[in-house]
Amino acid sequence: MFKGCILKKILMIQEASGGCGRHVLDLVSGLDPNQFDITLMYGKERADAYYLSRLSRINDAVTLVPSNYLCREINPFKDINAYLEISHLIRKFKPDIVHCHSSKAGVLGRLAAMNSHVPKIFYTPHAYSFQADEFSKIKKEIFMELSDILHNLKIQELTPMQEAAKEAYQSAKDLVLLSPTGSGKTLAFLLPLVQTLKADIQGVQALVLVPSRELALQIETVFKSMGTPFKAMSCYGGRPAMEEHRTMKGVHPAVIIGTPGRMSDHLRKENFNAATVVTLVIDEFDKCLEFGFHDEMAEVIGQLPSLKKRVLLSATDAEEIPQFAGVGGDSPSSVSRLMKLDFLAPEALAPRLRLHKVVSPEKDKLETLYNLLCTLGYHSTLVFCNYRESVERVAGYLQARKFPCDMFHGGMEQPDRERALYKFRNGSCAVLISTDLAARGLDIPGIENVVHYHPPVNEEAYTHRNGRTARWEASGNAYLVLHAEERVPEYISEDIETYEFPETLPKPAKPRWATLYIGKGKRIS
């Protein structure tokens, strides 16, 4: 089969035990090292003395990689880490063939190999160990969902920030995580949070407080895409609280994501049992304070008698952690149980973000903005204005000139805001005109351009706006539109590149497709 192929690279993956271990060792020992470059990953936890003694004999011919996480029992924490461990090894070794042995290694290894596009993947079951009586029905269901979690999220490797957050989360200490926008903070807390949820507890186990409805919906979507047996729901203003209460009674969520005001309302009405809540996450906690949610958050925390874990996340370094959150502070006891991870590094974004200055010959910059957007073509572009009225004026001007765009600000009705985001996310509307409401928390993949129609009010706003593009490992562009009397803000380098328009300006690009809304209709009695 492999005649003439020199050093075909093979990766073997197994948990290392019993007949399966002996079979793999016999197989590896029988392969010609002059034709095959072999790497064997085995579960260190189950490697007995006999297995290790045989490994020592083939050590010269085979690269051995012991795994700290491959194990027989069903353990979501170890299983996710084993998958990441295998994915990392595949990218490093670049095998032509991945051969997985037994149940656990078969599921995790094949999934990692498929997501890494390995040319040939083989699986030898040996025995389906998950059918053993020692595994409960609940554990079997959790593991069967594990592959869906990893596949749906398309995770191959955690970022250093996510790795650090995962390790810190395992500690009994409270956690404050500071990391730039677009760095993956949502997964940084959701992945370890899911692993701490208990299937035998009937009730809400974790609350996630967020400053906006859009962020609540976004986190809910990510959670549901993980495909775990646990349920989650979002709660926010703009819709009847009774409707949410009915959902709670029907869904029985383990996690509720909501705005502070609406969460406080549900707790006051005792719409769910607060005594089962042991974890509190406050995402964008500095923005929650900025939006005036201080009292509501304090009220929420005051109604959680069984709280054991607090996680605060932000893309900016707040000077002072709110005392009501129960973390930090001046007391030795609070300091000793606080762990702070700071991954704020402005220089990290710089290589991926290209900055441009767009000079407007007139004080009214609408014509210049129109020309810029036409030049950028049909690429996902977010235009920031400082005021709601400006958003409406800019959007109205562009639409009057037959330029397809939509708008987004806090004064809009919730259904209108949601429709605007749907169209912008799916690409049926490439340009969104917005206030700074869209600068925080929203994870909209694929945004290529950010346009500052109005200069940001401060450096923090500038950072968050730019954080909408160049997310993760992607690149992006930021354009600062200025007229002759406007100066580049002090926090932006003066040598910013000036954007030059082409001699011939293109016409507005037409939408590639449209979004069709189908309503629920009205009930006729």
Please check whether residue 200 lies inside any domain of the structure. Answer: yes
How does pLDDT run across 211-263, given as a tens digit for each residue? 888 889 889 988 887 777 899 999 998 888 999 999 999 999 999 999 999 99
The pTM score is 0.54
Counting every residue written for the chain, the total comes to 525
Regarding whether 478 and 374 lie in a shared domain, the answer is yes
The rounded distance, in Å, linking the Cα atoms of 104 and 72 is 7
Please check whether residue 521 lies inside any domain of the structure. Answer: no
Instruction: Give the CA-trace dihedral at 244, 248, 250, 252, to 10 degrees.
Output: 160
**Over the chain, what is the mean pLDDT?**
82
- Helix (H) or strand (E) holding 279, with range, is strand 279-283
Regarding whether 327 and 298 lie in a shared domain, the answer is yes
How does pLDDT run across 163-218, given as a tens digit for each residue? 888 888 888 889 999 887 667 888 889 988 988 899 889 899 999 999 888 889 88
Regarding whether 489 and 359 lie in a shared domain, the answer is yes
Regarding whether 216 and 117 lie in a shared domain, the answer is no
Name the residue with tokens 């509190």.
280
- Rank 78-82, 117-121, 158-162, 493-497 by mean pLDDT and report only the highest: 117-121
Regarding whether 362 and 279 lie in a shared domain, the answer is no
Regarding whether 206 and 276 lie in a shared domain, the answer is yes
Percentage of the residues of the chain whose pLDDT score is greater than 90: 31
Please check whether residue 524 lies inside any domain of the structure. Answer: no
Q: How far is CA 42 from CA 132, 431, 491, in A?
A: 21, 50, 52
Q: How many structural domains compose the chain?
A: 3
Regarding whether 422 and 288 lie in a shared domain, the answer is no
CB half-sphere exposure, 93, CA atoms < 13 A: 27
368 pLDDT higher than 90: yes
Per-residue pLDDT at 1: 43
- In the chain, % helix, strand, coil (3-state, to 5) comes to 40, 20, 40
Please check whether residue 507 lies inside any domain of the structure. Answer: no
The rounded distance, in Å, linking the Cα atoms of 100 and 151 is 18
Can you tell me the mean pLDDT for 400-426?
A: 89
121 pLDDT higher than 70: yes
The rounded distance, in Å, linking the Cα atoms of 17 and 68 is 15
Please check whether residue 522 lies inside any domain of the structure. Answer: no
Regarding whether 315 and 379 lie in a shared domain, the answer is no
Of the candidate ranges 84-98, 125-139, 240-254, 425-439, the one whose mean pLDDT is the lowest: 125-139
496-505's contacts with Cβ under 8 Å and 24+ in sequence apart are: 496/355, 496/356, 496/357, 497/354, 497/355, 497/356, 497/357, 498/356, 498/357, 498/358, 498/359, 499/356, 499/357, 499/358, 499/359, 499/372, 501/371, 501/372, 501/375, 502/375, 505/371, 505/374, 505/375
**Which pair of structure tokens corresponds to residue 344?**
């704020």
Render the burial of 435-463: b for 16+ CB within 10 Å, e for the rest.
Answer: bbbbbbbbbbeebbbbbbbbbbeeebbbb
Regarding whether 216 and 78 lie in a shared domain, the answer is no
Identify the domain boundary among 127, 153, 179: 153
Regarding whether 355 and 328 lie in a shared domain, the answer is no
Please check whether residue 510 lies inside any domain of the structure. Answer: no
The rounded distance, in Å, linking the Cα atoms of 51 and 68 is 16
> Structural domain of residue 470, as residue ranges?
349-498
**Which pair of structure tokens corresponds to residue 110?**
């094949």
Percentage of the residues of the chain whose pLDDT score is greater than 70: 81
Cα–Cα nearest to 477, from 291, 352, 316: 352
- Helix (H) or strand (E) holding 174, with range, is strand 174-178
Identify the domain boundary among 97, 127, 153: 153
Can you tell me the mean pLDDT for 352-369?
A: 89
pLDDT band at 349 (very low <50, low <70, confident <90, very high): very low
pLDDT band at 395 (very low <50, low <70, confident <90, very high): very high
Identify the domain boundary among 344, 378, 403: 344
Of the candidate ranges 1-15, 71-85, 123-137, 254-268, the one whose mean pLDDT is the lowest: 123-137
Per-residue pLDDT at 102: 82
Please check whether residue 512 lies inside any domain of the structure. Answer: no
Please check whether residue 353 lies inside any domain of the structure. Answer: yes
Per-residue pLDDT at 284: 86
**Which pair of structure tokens corresponds to residue 488?**
């580049």
CATH number of the domain enclosing 212: 3.40.50.300
Give the orientation angle of helix 213-225 with respect to helix 185-196, to 10 degrees. 60
Regarding whether 311 and 174 lie in a shared domain, the answer is yes
Per-residue pLDDT at 321: 66
Per-residue pLDDT at 336: 55
Cα–Cα nearest to 253, from 306, 204, 217: 204
Q: How far is CA 400 from CA 189, 395, 468, in A?
A: 44, 8, 27
pLDDT band at 331 (very low <50, low <70, confident <90, very high): very low
Regarding whether 229 and 369 lie in a shared domain, the answer is no
- Where does residue 124 rank: exposed (0-12), middle (13-18), buried (19+ CB within 10 A)? middle
